[in-house]
Amino acid sequence: MDAPPANSSALPFVQLFTDGACSGNPGPGGWAYILRHPASGKEREASGGLALTTNNQMELQAVIEGLAALTSKSRVELVTDSTYVAKGSAEWLPGWKRNGWKRKEGGQLKPLKNEFQWRRLDELLARHVVKFTVIKGHSGHAENERCDELAVAAAREFR
C-alpha cells in the first residue's frame, strides 16, 4: 500500500478480522468478518457463503464484505491469515493493474484468477487507509478462530 496520507490520523480507526473456509477446493465455502471500533467498543460480525467456490475466493470475499461494511473512510488494521490476500493487495495488485488485470507467468501474461474480486477489493482499498497484519491461522488467535467458526458454519449451509 502507499504511504498513509498526512491527515490519516484524523480518520476513525477500526480493526477488521477476516477468514474464509472451503470444504473441498472447489466446494461449498464460507466467509466471515469481525469489524471492531476500539474507541466505542462496538463490534459487528457477518458471514455468508457459496455452494461452489474456492478457499482464495472466500478469503477475498471476507475482506471485501468487511471493507464494504464501513460507512466512512477509515484507518483499518486488517487482520488475516491469508498471505494470498495480503501480498496480493500490497505487492501484486499494482502490477496486475499495469498489465490490464493479467498476471505474468513464464514471461507471458495470463488471465488473473478471481479478477472480479480483485477489482472490487482494489476499489475498496482506495477508499480507506489499510494496514495488513498477517497471522498464523488456527493458532489460537481469538478473532481469527471466531471468524473461522462463522465461515465454516456458513459453508455447511451449502452441503
Nearest to 148, CA basis, from 70, 45, 40 = 45
Question: Which is catalytic among the residues 24, 115, 138, 157?
Answer: 138
Is 2 among the residues known to form the active site? no
Active-site pick, 29, 59, 88, 143: 59
Is 66 an active-site residue? no
Catalytic residue among 20, 30, 48, 49: 20
29 is a catalytic site residue: no
Q: Quick check: is 138 catalytic?
A: yes
Query: What CA dihedral angle connects 63, 3, 141 and 45, to 10 degrees?
Result: -40
Cell of 123: 476499489
- What is the DSSP secondary structure assignment for residue 11, as one 8-state letter? S
Q: How far apart are the first and last CA of the chain?
A: 37
Backbone angles phi, psi at 72, to 5 degrees: -145, 160
Name the grid cell of 125: 482499498
- The residue from 19, 49, 65, 66 that is catalytic is 19
Active-site option among 49, 81, 88, 143: 81
- Of 65, 66, 143, 148, which residue is the catalytic one? 148
Note if 128 is an active site residue. Answer: no
- Annotated catalytic residues are 19-20, 59, 81, 138, 148
